[in-house]
Amino acid sequence: MDQNATSLSLALEKHELSCVPSAHYCQRNGLSPSSSPSCRADATSESSPPGNWQASRRSSNFSFTSDRDVFDEDSPQDLTYDAAQRLFEQLSSKDESIRQIGLRNLTRSIFVWVKTDFPHEGTEQSPRQRIGSTNERRTDIKTPISRQASSESAPAIVSPVSPKDDAPARIVQQALASLLRLSIRCPFHDVRVQSEEILKELKDGNVDMPTPIRVDVSRFIPTDQIHPVDTDDEQAHSLYSESFVQNCRLEHMVMVMGLHPQYLQQFLETNDHLLRSSGALPYEYRSYIAIMAAARHQCTYLVHLMEVQFLLQGGDREWLRGLDHVPAKLRALSELNKLLAHRPWLVTAQHFKNLTEGEPSTRWQHSHLVQVVVLLCHFHSIAIFCHGAGVNLELDHPRAHAFHTTTSTSPRSNTSSGAATPKVDAKSGRKSPASPIAEIGDVEVLMERMRKLQEEEEDVTTEERSRRFEIEKEEASHGLLPGVSGPVGGAAYFARYVQEPDFSYQDFAKRDAHAEIPTYRAQDYSWDHAFTVMSSYYNGVAELLDEKYQTAYNLTYKTLATRDNVDTTSLRRAIWMYVHCMYGIMYDDYNYSEVNQLLERPLKLYIKTVSCFPEQTTRAVYDGFWKQFRHSEKVHVNIMLLEARMQVGLLYGLRALTQCVRES
């Protein structure tokens, strides 16, 4: 054993430990103990002042300058969630030298934490018996997560950020799960490789290790259709890296959006601005509002991400117990959250008056409420996207991995949808089917209809446009219902973050009190009006949202299935208008007959399910439309649904807020 490894072994023996990194691992990774450990596991380093360590995370620019331990030999048991999280933050730096410091700190700490918390073989409980043991051990680990298993709609059995989960055993479990995620989903090669080596060393030391239940990014999209973490596509890899630096992880939803890099770039910039830029709302408030929004659509994936983000922003873990444990000011947003998520046409000026009046401790300012409306609508729409694209849980979510005591079968991977192996389109770089299209007639019919609409512009009166809108609105409320109508599993978990969890979408055509809630005419309060309000109260966000909308609406590769040089403007417009129509928004200058001409019934079913009942989106609904099209084209549809649905919420919400301001 070389000198460095010997020194490390002696240091660890002070804690009566026997599981240490091997000599090979130490030599390869330059691992050596600090000469004078000076920081406790729950202490704050010099680069992260007490009470403000999360500031370094928000800046995405770390300033670690020394190679030191984060524990001290007198108190290795002082393991906290925050201490573990700080270690992983160092790995999300763009600077490789800082990442190497982080990896060395993480390696030393992981080996100490594992053996400090878990006794040796032959004692009362072994590492294999302790990690993932007792009531926390899963009994269904052999069954891969599927839609039927509620991978998206069911909660974590033991949430990694639950307030009750601060026992050292659970924190170490979560740290190991985070290493598993990094070994598979990190865009930085050094972090990915060394995370895998740490896991291997621990496994060789007889520690029970997590294994992924399913490694797919999406339940709907084959793995080989999505850019891998080590993709050769420079633009995609650059965006992956940027996302990792921002969020300490490469999120599955980002990898799906990566099929359209131009849009992903706009999304990342906007999302980062909403969560981390200067603004009226405290950072932990923003993340908690995001949790509330995601919970309304029962999106386990997004709730988990935002719970983690909430803690990264220094949030009080007690708040994660539910609305009963948060400030009354936040709890008061529940009604607005409920209506914007499901029936935004019910939002009135009175709802905002209720929020701006009352006790000073619970009173909201108008500028703050603009930010609240934007955040709620933003995360409602992201939840819609995650459901619509079948985004799988992150690998460190408790339902996405299992601690096995015996050798198990390989995790499931959806590498094929039953078709021939795909190949990359040389022109666009996107994947396309290897075999000829079986239903080529459908593509030809759609192209012919789009051509006629472009060449033969119909002269339609305003009255006729209004009549066609009513026909389309009525048609959307009949016969287009998701295949699942019952409650979604795991609703009890989400109930902690919402009020009236059973409240859901109601067809606008069947709404109560027709006379009091007329059709929303876009010219009366347009996107330009909403843009002006946001510009006045929420600096910078209006431009970002407008650019993101424009990117999604105008995004085109001039292709349709296997056809090139196709103008898809009318098709994209029909999808956008159909979403707005289902929520009662009418445009006087649009001919709604285009919707029926261009959107086939399975596509309408998908649009309505994702836009109105997102938690009920199934693989059958996704596979049912555009069977002859690329998955990237279906993701493009999903992006348009995200943006169109977000605009619906903003129009209704900001219109009511504007009226409230005028009346105050």
Q: Which residues pair with 210 in a beta bridge?
A: 403
SS3 label, residue 105? helix
Rounded to whole angstroms, the Cα distance separating 373 from 658 reads 12
Q: Which of 251, 387, 371, 267 is nearest to 306 (CA)?
A: 251
Please, how many CA atoms are within 13 Å of residue 381, restricted to the half-sphere of its CB? 25
Who contacts 291 (Cβ-Cβ below 8 Å, separation ≥6)?
Answer: 303, 306, 307, 310, 497
399: its two tokens: 């339902």
Rounded to whole angstroms, the Cα distance separating 162 from 173 reads 13
Q: Which of 77, 90, 110 is nearest to 8 (CA)?
A: 110
Crossing angle (nearest 10°) for helices 601-612 and 366-388? 140
Single-letter residue type at 219: R
- Is 612 labeled as catalytic in the residue annotation? no
Task: Write down the residue that tokens 């090979």 correspond to.
Answer: 24
Backbone angles phi, psi at 566, to 5 degrees: -110, 130
DSSP string, 435-474: SPPTTHHHHHHHHHHHHHHHHS-----HHHHHHHHHHHHH
Contact 141, 408 (CB under 8 A): yes
Q: Which residues pair with 412 in a beta bridge?
A: 214
- Which DSSP symbol is given to 409? P
Residues in the chain: 664
DSSP string, 514-561: TTTS--EETTTS-HHHHHHHHHHHSTTHHHHHHHHHHHHHH---SEET
Of the residues 299, 377, 612, 660, only one is catalytic, namely 299
Contact 570, 453 (CB under 8 A): yes
Query: CB atoms < 10 A from the CB of 574, how many?
Result: 25
Contact 543, 572 (CB under 8 A): no
Q: Would the CA dihedral through 390, 391, 392, 398 be positive or negative?
A: negative
Contact 142, 42 (CB under 8 A): no
Active site residues: 299
